[in-house]
């Protein structure tokens, strides 16, 4: 029978957080703030990482299944990648007024892998990539309206929290529900002749809700509707790119958009992303559409991405993660079902998740209490996952790591059911 683990020692983390709040608004930014985890139970400052693990400043070691919110597809402290970056730094440098050959090499590597990629523009962050893709679509179509589905970053046109964003900007973006073709068609009809692009995460992953693989025929239907209405179709593959398959979800599910945005897993943690798309559309950036940055051409991240993509291909990482993740999801589903806890296992093999559900015999907030208690028990047992964000499986997660994760989930669910039985 499982028993509660003691609370972790987090003295250094908490002291650093108090200092951080003096130095910066809120101490840490956005989704990394403590209220997105379980306050007082999770560390706030990480000291280092290795393989599939992270170690916090207090010395607590965790199996990390959040993977830095997705960039770490291989593992932490990847020597091959780091060595390639150090060589570039020591032998060639990385920040110049002009570009280095690594840019051509990386763009060709992406074109070789990604179905929609005829031309590529490297940028730095996921929000850079999605925002540039939208600008390109507007420049290509001479239309203003954006139809979006999913999380696409923090810029004005897509940010979830509207504080500081003009109403005029918000009015140029409309949302539609993932998985429903009638919902998209209704929005296209409502803005007939005005829609520049449809931007969608090909795998649905709304905040704190079940992760949904595309229903049969859905992405094909989205593509047909966008084409019929003269809108550019953009797949936001910041999370799925190079993870669902080497060519992203568009390769995995066999539907090629007009453009795709890629980041996160592209360089195993180095800050780089890109927009890839059809030549006819991308060519508006030659003169009509402006994009520039002092740091977009920096080559360290490009070298890291080249080496990361080489390893992903050489070791068949996406297919390996898919196979291991399939087994993990099966085991996770059995574990949750056996526990009796009102929860659902969902996701795709590289991105598993558990969502807690309301039960008709429970109080209104019982499912939230179960969720908080469950994640309290998992973090105390050394599994780093997040209540509101799906998890990831990394290449360097060992079988022992995944076994421990399943055991931890089982024990934590057992304790959760004991503490919060249905109807109590």
The domain locations on the chain are: 11-76+317-419, 79-314
Average pLDDT on 206-224 reads 93
CB-based contact 110:117 (threshold 8 Å)? yes
CA distance 370 to 142: 50
Architecture of domain 79-314: 3-Layer(aba) Sandwich (3.40)
Kindly state the tokens that stand for 177: 């529900």
Is the pTM here over 0.85, yes or no?
Answer: yes
**CATH class entry, domain 11-76+317-419:** alpha beta
Instruction: Summarize pLDDT for 99-129 with one digit per residue, the tens.
Output: 999 999 999 999 999 999 999 999 999 999 9
Fold matches, 11-76+317-419 and 79-314: no
Residue 76 pLDDT > 80, yes or no?
yes
Q: Sheet containing 46-50: which strands, arranged edge to edge? A: 46-50, 53-56, 61-64, 383-384
C-alpha distances in angstroms, 228 versus 194, 198, 232? Answer: 13, 12, 10
pLDDT of residue 1: 81
Residue 98 pLDDT > 90, yes or no?
yes
pLDDT of residue 75: 98
pLDDT of residue 207: 77
Residue 209 pLDDT > 90, yes or no?
no
Average pLDDT, the chain: 96
pLDDT of residue 349: 98
Residue 362 pLDDT > 90, yes or no?
no
> HSE-up of 395 (CA within 13 Å, CB side)?
24
Q: Is the dihedral of CA 20, 22, 26, 29 positive or negative?
A: negative
CB-based contact 53:67 (threshold 8 Å)? no
Which of the four pLDDT bands, split at 50, 70 and 90, describes residue 390? Answer: very high
CA distance 332 to 242: 24
Residue 231: name the closest of 153, 302, 296, 176 by CA. 176
């Amino acid at each position: 029978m499982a028993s509660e683990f003691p609370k972790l020692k987090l003295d250094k983390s908490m002291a650093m957080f108090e200092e951080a709040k003096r130095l910066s608004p809120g101490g840490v930014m956005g989704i990394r703030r403590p209220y997105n985890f379980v306050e007082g139970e999770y560390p706030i400052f990480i000291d280092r990482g290795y393989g599939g693990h992270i170690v916090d400043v207090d010395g607590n070691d965790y199996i990390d299944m959040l993977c830095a919110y997705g960039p770490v597809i291989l593992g932490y402290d990847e020597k091959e990648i780091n060595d390639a970056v150090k060589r570039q730094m020591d032998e060639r440098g990385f920040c110049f007024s002009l570009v280095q050959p690594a840019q051509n090499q990386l763009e060709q590597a992406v074109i070789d892998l990604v179905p929609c990629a005829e031309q590529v523009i490297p940028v730095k962050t996921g929000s850079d990539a999605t925002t540039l893709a939208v600008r390109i679509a507007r420049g290509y179509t001479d239309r203003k309206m954006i139809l979006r589905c999913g999380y696409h970053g923090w810029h004005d046109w897509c940010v979830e929290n509207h504080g500081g964003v003009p109403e005029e900007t918000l009015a140029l973006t409309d949302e539609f529900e993932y998985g429903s073709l009638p919902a998209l068609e209704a929005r296209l009809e409502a803005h007939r002749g005005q829609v520049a692009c449809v931007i969608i995460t090909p795998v649905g992953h709304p905040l704190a809700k079940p992760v949904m693989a595309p229903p049969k025929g859905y992405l094909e239907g989205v593509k047909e509707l966008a084409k019929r209405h003269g809108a550019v179709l953009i797949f936001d593959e910041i999370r799925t790119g190079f993870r669902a398959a080497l060519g992203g979800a568009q390769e995995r599910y066999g539907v090629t958009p007009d453009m795709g945005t890629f980041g996160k897993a592209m360089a195993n943690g180095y800050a780089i992303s890109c927009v890839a798309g059809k030549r006819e559309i991308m060519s508006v950036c030659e003169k009509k559409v402006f994009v520039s940055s002092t740091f977009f051409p920096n080559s360290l991240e490009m070298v890291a991405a080249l080496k990361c993509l080489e390893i992903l291909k050489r070791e068949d990482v996406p297919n390996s993660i898919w196979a291991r993740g399939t087994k993990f999801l099966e085991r996770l589903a059995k574990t949750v079902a056996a526990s009796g806890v009102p929860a659902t296992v969902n996701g795709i093999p590289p991105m598993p998740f558990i969502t807690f559900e309301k039960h008709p015999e429970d109080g209104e907030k019982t499912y939230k209490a179960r969720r908080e208690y469950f994640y309290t028990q998992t973090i105390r047992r050394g599994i780093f996952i997040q209540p509101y964000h799906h998890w990831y499986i990394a290449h360097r997660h060992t079988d022992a790591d995944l076994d421990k994760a399943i055991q931890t989930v089982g024990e934590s669910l057992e304790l959760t059911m004991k503490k919060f039985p249905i109807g109590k």
